[in-house]
Structure formats: structure tokens, C-alpha cells
């Protein structure tokens, strides 16, 4: 049975953050010591990001709310709202983005209507509410009252790949299943000024966005482009549990993002990919010798940061062209946590370089340190 990811769609909020402008705001915050000011300059300047998107319209220079919550533009000062205030904004804005992304995936999948959806899987680590986004999607998009719903919460940047794996398993168990997968992350709700290096690095990287798609074994329509979901693998590295983490604080969620992460990924990435390629000797040999050889034409790497992409490119000996979708995603959208890898996949699928039958290896990293990967084939 062939199970495909169809209708792959991405959504971002309208407010655009210019990286240089955000850097200057963070660098000018009261209370920053000299070391923190240097870290702000370095982190933002070498991030590989030009623009990001946010649901916080008040971060735009065009907005001057009477009672600012996050940013007092008159004083150019970042404020410090509590976790409750941040999560209330999450519930408001995430609902809109879940519906927009879910609707986009359904509209982009020919031959599939909302009433055909049998399962919904939602993904997020940047907020919580109940009834949750899975319920809202079922209610507001016209899904059946008996649709099965699942939510993957607080898993971090790798969570979209397990969501696709579960969707594939549901389709393998029921050939008539049509699974809507939607990932929404509003990372900018947790931005704040700090002297802590991890917080500064996170503030230079994270952004808001949503990715979605339909997973089903139903046949593709003529002219449709999609990904066959071939295989999945998951690995926990022996190091890194304390180097990447996501905790709930009094003033939002707090990211632990140590500078050791690129080195840990560099050391363990090949071993983490071995189970994904073990079924195919040609692929396994390519991984062991030269991953850029063409056995896998495209690489959808989660752009956790520029240094991570540099390490992946070097360790796997990938070409600049193979990392271009990831670098372009980082440049234009930043790190949108779990949704980001779907943006990279969309970049590949939309590219003229992706031909029918091409193999794609997707990979994302998250707390643990966990590596989730998927092997796919371009169709159409």
C-alpha cells in the first residue's frame, strides 16, 4: 500500500519582522550587560535569517496600541507579560491559523472534501487550550461528528514527522482513511529580553507559522504532486538531554538551547539516519560514503539554525543545492519549531529540480536530543 502526503500547505501571519530591526530592539533593552549585548549582535547577525513572521501585530512599527502587552514602541521597550497572557493570545491566534492551514490543505487536495476526513492530528509546543485545536478544526471546517482526533503537544521541533508517521500508520490500518495533519507554532509569543545566552539565541531564531497536509492511500488525481511516505525512523542521541529543552516559566515558555547542539548533531547524525536507509543497500552505502551522490536527491533538513545546517552539510557531504530549501526557509521564515520542516518540504515540492521518482530525506531535531527522519518519494 502506498500512502501519500497530499495538499502540502503553509501559512504565516501577516506581520513581518526584519531581522536587523529586531536585533537593534533587543540590543537596546534596559538591563542588558555588555556580554549579553555582544551575544545579541552575534546571534542575530549570523542567524542566516532576513525575515520572520509573528502574530503580534504590536511588534510592527505601524502599530501603536493604547495598552501594549509585548512592546512599548514609544519607549522601544520589550515588556514582560505573564504566561497566562501569552497563552491567551496563543488560543486566539492559533485557532485562526489552525483553521486557515487545515482549510488550505483540504482545498489543495483534489478529490478530497472536508466531509471525507476520518482523522485529525494537530501539533504544537507553544501553547495549550481545551477543547483544543483538533476540536476546533472538526467543528469549524465541516468534518464529521465521528472524526477521530489526536493532538501531539510539547514535543518540540521534530513533532511534525511523528505526526506524519502516525497518519501513515492509520492509513495502513484502514485503506479508506483520510488524515488531516496540521502543525501550528507561535514561538514569538515567548520572546523576551534577557541576559541568558540561551534566551538570546532563541529570540534571534524563532518565528510563527503553520504547515498542513492530507495523508491518505487514496490515489492521486492527474497532474497532482505529492510525497509518497516510504519510511520513518527515530533515534535518541546518547548526549544532549540537557542541551535542548522546553520548559514553562512564569513569563512564557523557556528554551534551553546550548551551543553544543551543532556538535552533538554532527557526531550522531549519520548513526541516526542508518535505520532509515538500512532496507536499501544502495542508500546505506551512499550514507556511509557520500550522501550527495544522488541516491537521495533532496534533503528536507529542519533549519534549527545556520550552524546546524552547516554541520549537516559538512558531515553528510551534501551539496549547496541540496541544502538550499532549508537555507531559504530559514532566511525567509526563521525557525517555526515543528512546522518548519513542512515549509522545507513544500519548497522542494514546488521546485523545478524535484522530478517524479526523486527521493527525499526529511529530518528534524528536538528535545532529548531526538532525531526524527522520514524517507519520501516525489510523485507527479
Q: Which one, of 118, 24, 30, lies nearest residue 77 by Cα?
A: 30
The cell 542588558 sits on which residue?
32
DSSP tag of 28: T
Compute the distance between CA of residue 168 and CA of residue 31 in angstroms, rounded to an integer.
50
Helix residue spans in the chain (DSSP H): 19-27, 34-45, 83-107, 133-140, 160-173, 197-205, 261-277, 281-289, 306-316, 320-333, 340-350
Mention every residue, 6+ apart, whose C-beta is less than 8 A from residue 88: none
Length reported for the chain: 380
DSSP tag of 249: E
Beta bridge partners of 300: 362
187 given a catalytic annotation:
no
DSSP tag of 50: S
Which residues are part of the catalytic machinery?
157
Amino acid at each position: 500500500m502506498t500512502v501519500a502526503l497530499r495538499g502540502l500547505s503553509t501559512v504565516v501571519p501577516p506581520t513581518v519582522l526584519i531581522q536587523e530591526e529586531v536585533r537593534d530592539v533587543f540590543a537596546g533593552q534596559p538591563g542588558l550587560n555588555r556580554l549579553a549585548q555582544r551575544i545579541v549582535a552575534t546571534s542575530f547577525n549570523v542567524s542566516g535569517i532576513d525575515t520572520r513572521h509573528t502574530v503580534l501585530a504590536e511588534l510592527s512599527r505601524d502599530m501603536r496600541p493604547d495598552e501594549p502587552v509585548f512592546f512599548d514602541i514609544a519607549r522601544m521597550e520589550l515588556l514582560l507579560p505573564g504566561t497566562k497572557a501569552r497563552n491567551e493570545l496563543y488560543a486566539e491566534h492559533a485557532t485562526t491559523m489552525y483553521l486557515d492551514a487545515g482549510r488550505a490543505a483540504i482545498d489543495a487536495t483534489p478529490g478530497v472534501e472536508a466531509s471525507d476526513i476520518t482523522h485529525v492530528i494537530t501539533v504544537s509546543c507553544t501553547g495549550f487550550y481545551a477543547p483544543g485545536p483538533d476540536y476546533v478544526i472538526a467543528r469549524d471546517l465541516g468534518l464529521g461528528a465521528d472524526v477521530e482526533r489526536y493532538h501531539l503537544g510539547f514535543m518540540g521541533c521534530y513533532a511534525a514527522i511523528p505526526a506524519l508517521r502516525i497518519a501513515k500508520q492509520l492509513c495502513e490500518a484502514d485503506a479508506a482513511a483520510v488524515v488531516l495533519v496540521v502543525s501550528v507554532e507561535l514561538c514569538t509569543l515567548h520572546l523576551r529580553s534577557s541576559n541568558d545566552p540561551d534566551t538570546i539565541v532563541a529570540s534571534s531564531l524563532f518565528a510563527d507559522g503553520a504547515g498542513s497536509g492530507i495523508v491518505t492511500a487514496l490515489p492521486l488525481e492527474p497532474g497532482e504532486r505529492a510525497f509518497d511516505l516510504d519510511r520513518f525512523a527515530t533515534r535518541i542521541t546518547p548526549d544532549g538531554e540537557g542541551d535542548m529543552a522546553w520548559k514553562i516559566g512564569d513569563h512564557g515558555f523557556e528554551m534551553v538551547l546550548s551551543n553544543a547542539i551543532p556538535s552533538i548533531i554532527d557526531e550522531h547524525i549519520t548513526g541516526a539516519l542508518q535505520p532509515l536507509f538500512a532496507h536499501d543497500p544502495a542508500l546505506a552505502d551512499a550514507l556511509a560514503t557520500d550522501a550527495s551522490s544522488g541516491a537521495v536527491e533532496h534533503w528536507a533538513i529542519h533549519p534549527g539554525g545556520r550552524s546546524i545546517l552547516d554541520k549537516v552539510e559538512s558531515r553528510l557531504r551534501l551539496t549547496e543545492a541540496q541544502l538550499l530549501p532549508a537555507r531559504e526557509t530559514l532566511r525567509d521564515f526563521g525557525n517555526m519549531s515543528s512546522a518548519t520542516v513542512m515549509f522545507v518540504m513544500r519548497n522542494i515540492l514546488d521546485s523545478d529540480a524535484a522530478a517524479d521518482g526523486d527521493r527525499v530525506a526529511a529530518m528534524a531535531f528536538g528535545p532529548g536530543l531526538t532525531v526524527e527522519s522520514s524517507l519520501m518519494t516525489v510523485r507527479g
